[in-house]
């Protein structure tokens, strides 16, 4: 009914519209919490003898959550065929952050940046 109330005047005035129904995307609060968690992990965890950046950790967690594949790169190394977190729904983002919390708990990560977050 809310959507109809919004589109009815447009349709009656002759406009053509497209309506997309999809799950709600991640919230700004979830996005801020994600980057705070990634910062804590990148500062506190060595991954096979390496320090990863926040962005690299995001790729690692996203690939794990989505069970994505890695393919050989053009000039060596590997490329993760991943999903962008900006396309995730609220539920997917919550699942990703739960995965990160479990990972952090196993490795003694102090999520100091998470205090007060509950979205």
Is position 3 within any domain? no
DSSP state string for 62-117 = HHHHHT--EEE-BTBSEEE----GGG-BHHHHHHHHHHHHHHHHHTT---GGGTT-
What pLDDT does residue 113 have? 61
Looking up residue 39, the CATH number of its domain turns out to be: 1.10.3790.10
Let me know: does 103 contact 61? Beta carbons within 8 Å. yes
In a domain, 12, yes or no: no
Whether residue 15 lies inside any domain: the answer is no
Does 5 map to a domain? Answer: no
Number of domains, the chain: 1
The answer as to whether 1 is a domain residue is no
State the pTM of this model: 0.69
The whole-number pLDDT of residue 118 equals 53
pLDDT for res 97? 93
pLDDT digits (tens, 9 = 90+) for 8-53: 999 999 999 887 777 788 888 898 999 999 999 999 999 999 999 9
8 inside domain = no
| Residue 9 resides in a domain | no
Residues whose CB falls within 8 Å of the CB of residue 27, separated by 6 or more in sequence, listed in order: 90, 93, 119
For 56-108, what is each residue's pLDDT tens digit? 999 889 888 888 888 898 888 887 776 778 888 899 999 999 999 999 999 99
C-alpha closest to that of 104 among 15, 41, 59: 41
Show the domain range for 28. Answer: 23-114
């Amino acid at each position: 009914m809310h959507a109809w109330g919004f589109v009815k005047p447009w349709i009656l005035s002759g406009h053509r519209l497209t309506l997309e129904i999809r799950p709600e995307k991640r919230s700004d609060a979830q996005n801020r919490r994600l980057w705070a968690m990634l910062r804590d992990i990148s500062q506190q965890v060595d991954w096979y003898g390496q320090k990863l950046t926040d962005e690299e950790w995001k790729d690692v967690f996203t690939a794990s959550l989505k069970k994505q594949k890695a393919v050989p790169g053009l000039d060596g190394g590997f490329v993760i065929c991943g999903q962008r977190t900006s396309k995730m729904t609220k539920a997917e983002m919550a699942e990703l952050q739960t995965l990160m919390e479990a990972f952090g708990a196993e490795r003694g990560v102090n999520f100091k940046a998470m205090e007060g977050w509950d979205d």
